[in-house]
Amino acid sequence: MMITVKLTVNGKLRQVHVEPRLTLLEVLREELLLTGTKEGCGVGECGTCVVLHDGEPVTSCLVLAGDADGAEIETIEGLAEDGELTAVQRAFVKTGALQCGFCTPAMVLTTTALFRKNDQPAIEDVKNALGGVLCRCGVYPKLLEAVTEIKGANP
Amino acid sequence: MTGYVGNRIPRVDSAAKVTGAAIYGVDVALAGMLHGAVLRSPYPRARIVSIDTSAAAAAPGVQTVVTGRDFSLLFGGVIKDQSILAIDEVRYAGEPVVAVSATTEHEAQEALSLIRVEYEELPAVLDMRAALANDAPLVHPDLHTYNRRPGDYIVPHTNINTIYRHERGDVEAGFARSDYVFEGEYTAHALSHAALEVHVAIAQYDSVTGGYTVWVSSERPFILRDQLAPGLGVEPSRIRMIAAEVGGTFGGKGIPIAEAIAAGLARHSGGRPVRVEFTREEDLVASQTRVPAILKLKTGINRDGFMVARSAEVLWDSGAYTAYTVDVSIRGAQTIIGPYRIPNLSLLSRQVYTNKPVTGSFRGFGTTQVTWACETHMDEITTEMGLDPVAFRLQNGYEEGDPYINGQILHGINLTDTIKRAATEIGWGSVERKPAPHLRRGKGIAAMIKPSKTPSSANVVINLGQDGRAAVVCAAPEIGAGQRTVIAQIAADSIGIRIEDVSVPDADTAITPYNSPVASSRTTYHMGNAVLEAGTKVQAELVALAGRYLEVDPDELEVRDGGIFDLDGEHQITVKGLLSKYSKEGYWITASARYSSAGSPLLKADPGEEWISSIFWMLCTHAAEVEVDVETGVIRVVKIAAAADVGKAINPLTVEQQIEGGVVMGVSNALFESFSYRDGRVENGNFADYKLATIHDIPEIVPIIVESVHDEAPFGAKGVGEPANAATPPAIGNAIFDAVGIRIRDLPITPEKVLEALEEKAAADVSKLKPPL
């Protein structure tokens, strides 16, 4: 049995016919070939696969594609327009808030969602937002610098 | 020189990484690609009685099913003791037994459930001390028959796969001369590298040439190639390794793991490429871990506070196969006196096989285990003798010109400033002891020393094209530590072009010239030297060409910022403009260079012991402030001041990243990470139960860059990646002692251990108060 799932991904309407067991992560990576979203564990423990689902960060490995039918999905590929990086992306680059970069899409998207709600988040809000995304390289101190940089750009 | 070196340059891989454009090993896909899956042993040791793969072979989508019978050859880093799939016997729970390739991942996984394997369980060796017993079962009874690097480091017919001794001075006389002697035993546990990108590989077999192409995520494409070749029965050059972006490694992606399975399946999959991606559980349980160790130390001190003698006995647990651990155990053990002058040494290091998961190189290559033991031991000495830990380290610490344990004269080191600056930053000597009724604070310090793989070489080719852009062709994969950026900085400066006009393509063993691994914190130094030389050659050719074109003396021209200038600073022509004048005939400038540490006069040592020398030495000191909750035993690390002698920072931004990231890893290693086993099986193969530090767990981290002067280093730059995590755990342990007077000697430092130690201490304190009976 196959199901049809309609998603708006980075502003474009996409339709896929997939087995119902597929997750949103699998549809993004394997059907839509948006490989910027990474898988770190597949069971919702590392946060590497975060995408924005109707503006909210979700671990896409825990969302069945069918349950995302009709949703607006944003992935890392959708942030920069015509090569112009967003303020969040620019801050990550400037402060060095990435090393191997494997968690970076999830970190950037989570930070983006946070700042859309509140352009001056408190440090505890930042830690609570990013606390679910693991980084083995340990860029956490530089992430906090990036957040300070973004706050400074949003006076 | 244009001026990128030494400056805080944003990483050249940043844009690709913040936009999702970077292609990692897990992102590579090929047309017609099959998917592999692995059936693993549930037992730590068992005889394989029978394997029935008939149902799996007939399952939908299945291309091939292979077992150990299909691969009789052995491979390994030093001792060839491992096969692609278990042959006749399994030696750890999680060992690959059967592999399947199928059209989809799902079909491959489904087929696994149809395979029937009958095992006969055998008595397993699950403890490294037990492995030494005379009647212990032998994990590898045929050890003495295996192909291996020559040398008498194995003990045939035992579980000992590495024995190493080192003597310097006269240790017994040293102890006899000592006024005080201290002894202690310490343990360091297995740790997962836990790179967020799991182990993955795609392999394709060409039945006409008998060669393989393997797309990998690895820091060591050449080493991987050379190690896998014997397992496949081909010459190394028959395997082409193409490295994609690496989603973290920390020393963990340098031996054939997913690569071996993928290549093995590809051999029997009709020429179609086969992709093998581990699950997180496979990655945690069945890739490799840090080598656990038990370290016994004995140190003699005189009344003036000088260390006189040390004897040490180190036992390492390689797990079921040796991989890189022969060298890990030897190189790690060689640092057993730490960064201190101890004239008399007796070291015995032994490593045993057990029926536990494979271990290997892990950021620090054996020095994290040793540093934990040595620096905890140092703190016990200073406590007992009433000495100041900072002053004691300064008094005994290595200085420029001191001889190392093999007589090598230490050059280009600055331990002293790392100690002083870490101590100053942490506010040594003062602490707010009791910020709340249930909280106690303390401070601790720890230092370490780390060699870099010696000898080793790096080769590079630089191609400067007609558009004025340079490709730096080298096998130095970007593993996250900023390799690509540092290489681009040095290339841009030495050629005289803008960094935007430099690219550093991915490694490909069929194209990129040989490089030793991106490991041992060696890349900036070794590849940096090669790139500096090649870039300088490119610039010389540019200047000569410009002289011819402009009809001026080349000595009166210089290249910078992508332009040719005269000595008055007048711009003459751009590099691109100059090369475009020759576009009809086609004009590229190509230069190559090789740097090798072999034969350097810096390696001179006592006769027969030059092999112990390191081309450069990395020193670092971490000082910690911690807070102990005496009701719960929970440790909060308040601050870490981390000072590293890096020689010269080519890019202070990426150096800070290494130091900060290392401290985060050190905190995680010390407080949170631990495998739990039941009957030899890892029980916690997931991130819910194998806990890594999150952004909630990090202290204030102050990275301190200390410089030194090294004659052979490019711009003076040494390395920084590995020392960054090693000194954090003992600094935390020593700070806990300072806070509450308890000594944890076995990692990790869990709340349970802290509470238990606090209770024991309270009981002991009470009994001290009681009058004698």
Check if the beta carbon of residue B362 is closer than 8 Å to that of residue B191: yes
Backbone φ and ψ of B194, nearest 5°: 50, 40
Instruction: Work out the pLDDT band at B585, boundaries 50, 70, 90.
Output: confident
CB within 8 Å of chain A, chain B residues 303-342: none
The tally of domains found in chain B comes to: 3
Closest-CA residue of B relative to A138 is: B661
Determine, for residues A75 and B20 on separate chains, whether the beta-carbon distance falls below 8 Å: yes
* pLDDT at residue B772 greater than cutoff 90: no
* pLDDT at residue B337 greater than cutoff 80: yes
Check if the beta carbon of residue B298 is closer than 8 Å to that of residue B311: yes
Residue B18 to chain A, least CA–CA distance (Å): 6
Instruction: Work out the pLDDT band at B583, boundaries 50, 70, 90.
Output: confident
Residue A140 to chain B, least CA–CA distance (Å): 6
Determine, for residues A139 and B11 on separate chains, whether the beta-carbon distance falls below 8 Å: no
- pLDDT above 70 covers a percentage of chain B that reads 99
Predicted local confidence at residue A83, as pLDDT:
86
- CB of A43 within 8 Å of a chain B CB? The answer is yes
Determine, for residues A141 and B701 on separate chains, whether the beta-carbon distance falls below 8 Å: yes
Q: Which of A76, A136, A144, A145 has the highest number of chain B CBs within 10 A, making it the mutation to test binding with B?
A: A136
Q: Are residues B214 and B261 in the same domain?
A: yes
Residue B382, domain member (yes or no): no
Q: Which of B23, B35, B196 has the highest number of chain A CBs within 10 A, making it the mutation to test binding with A?
A: B196
Query: Which residues in chain A touch residue B14, judged by CB atoms under 8 angstroms apart?
Result: 92-93, 96, 98
* pLDDT at residue A154 greater than cutoff 80: no
Q: Which of A133, A137, A147, A150 has the highest number of chain B CBs within 10 A, making it the mutation to test binding with B?
A: A137
Instruction: Work out the pLDDT band at B587, boundaries 50, 70, 90.
Output: confident
CA dihedral B600, B605, B610, B616 (to 10 degrees): -50
Determine, for residues B196 and A80 on separate chains, whether the beta-carbon distance falls below 8 Å: no
Q: Are residues B531 and B557 in the same domain?
A: yes
Q: Which of B9, B17, B636 has the highest number of chain A CBs within 10 A, making it the mutation to test binding with A?
A: B17
Backbone φ and ψ of B70, nearest 5°: -80, -10
Mean per-residue pLDDT of chain A: 97
Distance CA A53, CA B576 (A): 47
Closest-CA residue of A relative to B199 is: A40
Residue ranges covered by each domain of chain A: 3-77, 87-153
Q: Are residues B441 and B466 in the same domain?
A: no
Count of CB pairs separated by less than 8 Å, A with B: 158
Residue B439, domain member (yes or no): yes
Q: Are residues B684 and B769 in the same domain?
A: yes
Predicted local confidence at residue B586, as pLDDT:
86
What's the per-residue H, E or C state across chain A? CCEEEEEEECCEEEEEEECCCCEHHHHHHHHCCCCCCCCCCCCCCCCCCEEEECCEEEEHHHCEHHHHCCCEEECHHHCCECCECCHHHHHHHHHCCCCCCCCHHHHHHHHHHHHHHCCCCCHHHHHHHHCCCCCCCCCHHHHHHHHHHHHHHCC
> Mind giving me the DSSP string for B474-504?
-S----SSSHHHHHHHHHHHHHT--GGGEE-
In the sheet with A50-53, reading across from the earlier edge strand, the strands are A12-18, A3-9, A72-74, A50-53, A56-59
Residue B349 to chain A, least CA–CA distance (Å): 31
pLDDT tens-digit readout, B592-642: 999 999 999 999 999 999 999 999 999 999 999 999 999 999 999 999 999
- CB of B279 within 8 Å of a chain A CB? The answer is yes
- CB of A121 within 8 Å of a chain B CB? The answer is no
Residue B304 to chain A, least CA–CA distance (Å): 41
Query: Which residues in chain A touch residue B651, judged by CB atoms under 8 angstroms apart?
Result: none
Query: Which residues in chain A touch residue B622, judged by CB atoms under 8 angstroms apart?
Result: none
**Domain holding B638: CATH number?**
3.30.365.10
**Domain holding B36: CATH number?**
3.90.1170.50
SS3 label, residue B81: coil
Tell me the CATH number of domain A3-77, given options 3.30.2270.10, 3.40.50.150, 3.40.190.10, 3.10.20.30: 3.10.20.30
Q: Which of A37, A98, A144 sits opposite B14 (nearest CB)?
A: A98
Closest-CA residue of B relative to A94 is: B10
Q: Are residues B577 and B635 in the same domain?
A: no
- CB of B233 within 8 Å of a chain A CB? The answer is no
* pLDDT at residue B580 greater than cutoff 90: yes
Query: Which residues in chain B touch residue A39, judged by CB atoms under 8 angstroms apart?
Result: 26
**Residue range B509-515: mean pLDDT, rounded:** 97
Give residue B763's domain range. Answer: 388-445+616-773
Q: Which residue has the tokens 């190559």?
A: B592
Domain stops at, among B243, B272, B287: B287
Q: Are residues B698 and B723 in the same domain?
A: yes
Q: Which of B19, B285, B486 has the highest number of chain A CBs within 10 A, making it the mutation to test binding with A?
A: B19
Q: Before B96, cis peptide (omega within 30)?
A: no
Predicted local confidence at residue B771, as pLDDT:
67
Query: Which residues in chain A touch residue B248, judged by CB atoms under 8 angstroms apart?
Result: 99-100, 102, 136-137
Query: Which residues in chain B touch residue A101, judged by CB atoms under 8 angstroms apart?
Result: 13, 16-18, 22, 245, 247, 480
Query: Which residues in chain A touch residue B657, judged by CB atoms under 8 angstroms apart?
Result: 96, 99, 137, 139, 142
- CB of A31 within 8 Å of a chain B CB? The answer is no
Q: Are residues B418 and B470 in the same domain?
A: no
Q: Are residues B441 and B464 in the same domain?
A: no
Query: How would you label A25-46 residue by residue, b for 16+ Cβ within 10 Å and e otherwise?
Result: bbbbbbbbebbbbbbbbbbbbb
* pLDDT at residue B704 greater than cutoff 90: yes
Residue A102 to chain B, least CA–CA distance (Å): 5
**Hey, what CATH topology would domain A87-153 get?**
DNA polymerase; domain 1 (1.10.150)
* pLDDT at residue B1 greater than cutoff 60: no
Predicted local confidence at residue A155, as pLDDT:
56
Q: Are residues B416 and B499 in the same domain?
A: no
- CB of B348 within 8 Å of a chain A CB? The answer is no
- Which residue type occupies B70? D
> Mind giving me the DSSP string for B521-557?
T-HHHHHHHHHHHHHHHHHHHHHHHHHHHHTS-GGGE
**Please, what is the angle between helix A123-130 and helix A140-153, to 10°?**
130
Q: Where are the alpha helices (DSSP H) in B59-205?
A: 105-112, 128-131, 171-177
Determine, for residues B14 and A92 on separate chains, whether the beta-carbon distance falls below 8 Å: yes
Q: Which tokens is B168 given?
A: 């310097």
Check if the beta carbon of residue B588 is closer than 8 Å to that of residue B552: no
Q: Which of B11, B664, B696 sits opposite A96 (nearest CB)?
A: B11
Q: Are residues B438 and B461 in the same domain?
A: no
**Which value does ipTM take for this structure?**
0.98
Q: Are residues B435 and B463 in the same domain?
A: no
Q: Are residues B89 and B224 in the same domain?
A: yes
Closest-CA residue of A relative to B652 is: A96
Residue B470, domain member (yes or no): yes
Predicted local confidence at residue B387, as pLDDT:
97
**Residue range A111-122: mean pLDDT, rounded:** 97
